[in-house]
């Protein structure tokens, strides 16, 4: 049966709908904005944005925050907030009763016009309950199309699972992979992400049931040029001397630029031909890929949005990814990217080597860090569109384009364990020191791509999320360090505790292997003299792409106007405090 989803438009430019109300109800129930965000499947930053927007719309606070708070969460609804929730639910109930007769009639029309849909499963009109990030753009009823069930960007939980999903009832064969005549006249096709003989634990493949086989999704290729997207090895690309480096954000483009054209390589490492190493990119975009599609044969792509949400329309489903979330696009997956906001910027780790997986927890046990159930894989989605389209392929560092007369996003059903996924970074459960000392940053590893050497990663994806600092008699920021690994860092929002000034959201830094790094002079002074009471680092999210290979700078990065020439000076204020006495000189 269709269901009613209510949005109320308020003058002059505000509106309130299911997303905001659900968030307010969870704040009232949990006494915590962060707990409420987790309960509705929303990033912490998005929750804060909606709270501030709600307060602005109504001209008075709907949510009040204070230290401690009841149940320790520090947030509760004001009288005005409670009234808004009650009024909305009353309006929703009244509207539902008034519309009930018409909804039943609508279902009857659908049953008559689309028997396949009616027989397969119930009609879904509202967006999936998990999708609240970017909710204002998704409070619409999914379009009802003849012969196809609207899926409304639903997701399946789990990491590395063997999933199965179909758009049309019976499209997915049962008990076999390749029937002589698949249902609906579809073609069966396997997409392999590992060699056939890989061990069962690392063997990855999915069976796709599509309108046309992939051999029909390209004709003759011609060369394409994306001059700012580089691949390893890329040595001797600039004349900048060796050193620790930091940049302010890459500027947004003035001309129309889509996700692929806006890719800017900052570093390369390893060898794309040997399927080892990585490249670190920044992307900037202000327009959609309407009839342009892309797949990367060189590696999987881990995307980290920083400004603006992205909608990844892939051949295996649709993912909406907001700042505070990440997504992974497997090697060989065809997709296009639509913007959820006017412009977008973020980071990409292009992994040439073994795929990202979850790190072993060792003595931590079965829980904490990134839990498998928080990874979300999209359900099947397809379009049967016969219009001129283009497909660009990245292969061995080069780009090749072909033109076709239809959309390649035509997978009606699929099953397997080789698939894209998204992950909300606010669901990461940090583990840290609860008595003294600072653990290694590897304790914050979300995903790791192994190399052939045990314990040495091709890439680690590490985050520095909100967390409590409680260690006694301890220098709490990350310590000074020289490292065999090479570290590319970015900041999604907030401040980074080791460098509160100069490292800004959208910026990036590079500390290559064995080059010293650590807190700046101000950070050292603050941490060395701090009152060591429990302190929560909040409203922050930094990350690191760390690799065993040296990261070589590109000419683009070396000549970027936002390169901070004075970064090295952040350590110039560190004083000599040795004076021969056990106390040292702290004057």
* CA dihedral for 175, 178, 184, 190, sign (positive or negative): positive
Write down the pLDDT at residue 99.
80
Instruction: Report which of 272, 307, 290, 302 is spatially closest to residue 493, judged by C-alpha positions.
Output: 307
Tell me phi and psi for residue 392, to 5 degrees.
Answer: -110, 135
Write down the pLDDT at residue 100.
79
Is the N-terminal amide bond of 233 cis, ω within 30° of 0?
yes
**Is 233 exposed, middle or buried (CB count within 10 Å of its CB: 0-12, 13-18, 19+)?**
middle
Q: Could you confirm whether 481 is annotated as catalytic?
A: no
Write down the pLDDT at residue 109.
63
Burial pattern 309-323, b for ≥16 Cβ within 10 A else e, equals bbbbbbbbbbbbbbb
Write down the pLDDT at residue 11.
63
Place of tokens 């049966």: 1
Write down the pLDDT at residue 141.
29
Residues of the chain with pLDDT under 70: 1, 11-13, 66-73, 108-152
* Fold category of 8-120 in CATH: Arc Repressor Mutant, subunit A (1.10.10)
The answer, as to whether pTM is greater than 0.85, is no
Tell me phi and psi for residue 306, to 5 degrees.
Answer: -120, -40
Distance CA 404, CA 333 (A): 17
| 27 C-beta neighbours (distance < 10 Å), count | 29
141-145 contacts, C-beta under 8 A, 24 or more apart = 141/2, 141/5, 144/110, 144/114
Query: Collapsing DSSP states into helix, strand and coil, what is residue 568?
Result: helix
Which residues have C-beta within 8 Å of that of residue 578, sequence separation ≥ 6? 584, 585
CA–CA–CA angle 267, 194, 197 (5° rounding) = 145
Which token pair is 268?
């390369």
Query: Collapsing DSSP states into helix, strand and coil, what is residue 476?
Result: coil
- Catalytic hit among 281, 438, 481, 493: 438
Q: Which helix (H) or strand (E) holds 95?
A: helix 79-113
pLDDT, one tens digit per residue, over 225-281 is: 999 999 999 999 999 999 999 999 999 999 999 999 999 999 999 999 999 999 999
| 15 C-beta neighbours (distance < 10 Å), count | 13
pLDDT, one tens digit per residue, over 14-59 is: 888 888 999 999 999 988 888 888 888 877 778 888 888 888 888 8
Q: Where are the domains of the chain?
A: 8-120, 153-587
Strands 263-271 and 335-339, sheet pairing: unpaired
Q: Which helix (H) or strand (E) holds 105?
A: helix 79-113
Place of tokens 């009616």: 118
Place of tokens 């907001």: 322
- Give bridge partners of residue 552 from the DSSP assignment: 268
Average pLDDT, the chain: 88
Which token pair is 442?
């590897």
Print the SS3 string covering 323-388.
CCEEEEECCCCCEEEEECCCCEEEEEEEECCCCCECCCCHHHCCCCECCHHHEEEECCCCCCCCCC
Calculate Rg over the CA atoms of the chain. 25
Q: What is the DSSP letter of 35?
A: H
Write down the pLDDT at residue 150.
38
């Amino acid at each position: 049966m269709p269901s009613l989803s209510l949005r109320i438009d308020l003058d002059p430019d505000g509106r309130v709908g299911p997303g905001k109300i659900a968030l307010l109800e969870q704040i009232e129930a949990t006494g915590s904005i962060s707990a409420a965000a987790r309960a509705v499947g929303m990033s912490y930053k998005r929750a804060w944005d909606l709270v501030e927007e709600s307060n602005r719309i109504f001209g008075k606070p709907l949510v009040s925050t204070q230290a401690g708070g009841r149940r320790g969460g520090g947030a509760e609804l004001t009288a005005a907030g409670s009234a808004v929730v009650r009024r909305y639910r009353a309006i929703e109930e009244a509207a539902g009763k008034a519309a009930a007769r018409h909804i039943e009639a609508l279902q009857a029309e659908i049953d008559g016009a689309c028997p396949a849909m009616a027989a397969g499963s119930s009609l879904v009109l509202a967006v999936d309950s998990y999708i609240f990030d970017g909710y204002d753009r998704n409070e619409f009823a999914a379009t009802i199309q003849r012969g196809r069930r609207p899926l409304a960007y639903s997701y399946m939980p789990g990491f590395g699972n063997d999933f199965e999903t179909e758009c049309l009832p019976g499209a997915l064969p049962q008990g076999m992979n390749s029937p002589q005549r698949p249902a609906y006249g579809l073609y069966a096709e396997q997409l392999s992400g590992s060699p056939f003989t890989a061990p069962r634990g690392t063997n990855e493949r999915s069976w796709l049931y599509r309108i046309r086989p992939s051999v029909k999704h390209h004709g003759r290729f011609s060369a394409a040029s994306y001059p700012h997207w580089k691949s390893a090895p890329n040595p001797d690309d600039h004349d900048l001397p060796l050193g620790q480096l930091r940049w302010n954000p890459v500027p947004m483009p003035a001309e129309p630029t889509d996700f692929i054209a806006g890719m800017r390589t900052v570093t390369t490492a390893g060898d794309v031909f040997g399927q080892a190493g990585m490249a670190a990119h920044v992307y900037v975009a202000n327009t959609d890929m309407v009839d342009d599609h892309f797949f990367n044969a060189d590696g999987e792509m881990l995307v980290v949005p920083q400004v603006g949400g992205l909608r990844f329309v892939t051949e295996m489903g649709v993912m909406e990814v907001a700042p505070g979330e990440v997504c992974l696009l497997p090697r060989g997956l065809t997709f296009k990217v639509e913007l959820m906001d006017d412009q977008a910027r973020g980071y990409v780790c292009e992994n040439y080597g073994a795929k990202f997986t979850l790190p072993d927890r060792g003595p931590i046990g079965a829980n904490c860090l990134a839990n498998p159930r928080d990874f979300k894989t999209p359900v099947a989605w397809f379009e049967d569109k016969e219009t001129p389209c283009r497909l660009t392929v990245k292969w061995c560092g080069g780009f090749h384009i072909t033109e076709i007369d239809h959309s390649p996003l035509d997978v009606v059903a699929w099953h397997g364990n080789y698939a894209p996924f998204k992950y909300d970074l606010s669901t990461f459960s940090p583990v840290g020191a609860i008595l003294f000392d600072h653990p290694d940053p590897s304790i914050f590893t979300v995903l790791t791509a192994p190399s052939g050497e045990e314990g040495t990663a091709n890439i680690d994806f590490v985050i520095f999320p909100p967390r409590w600092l409680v260690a006694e008699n301890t220098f709490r920021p990350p310590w000074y360090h020289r490292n065999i690994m090479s570290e590319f860092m970015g900041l999604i929002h907030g401040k980074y505790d080791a460098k509160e000034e100069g490292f800004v959201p959208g910026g990036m830094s590079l500390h290559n292997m064995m080059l010293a790094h650590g807190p700046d002079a101000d950070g050292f002074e603050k941490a060395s003299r701090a009152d060591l009471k429990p302190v929560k680092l909040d409203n922050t999210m930094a990350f690191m792409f760390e690799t065993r290979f040296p990261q070589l700078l590109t000419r683009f990065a070396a000549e970027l106007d936002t390169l901070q020439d004075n970064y090295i000076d952040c350590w110039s204020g560190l004083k000599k405090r040795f004076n021969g006495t056990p106390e040292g000189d702290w004057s």
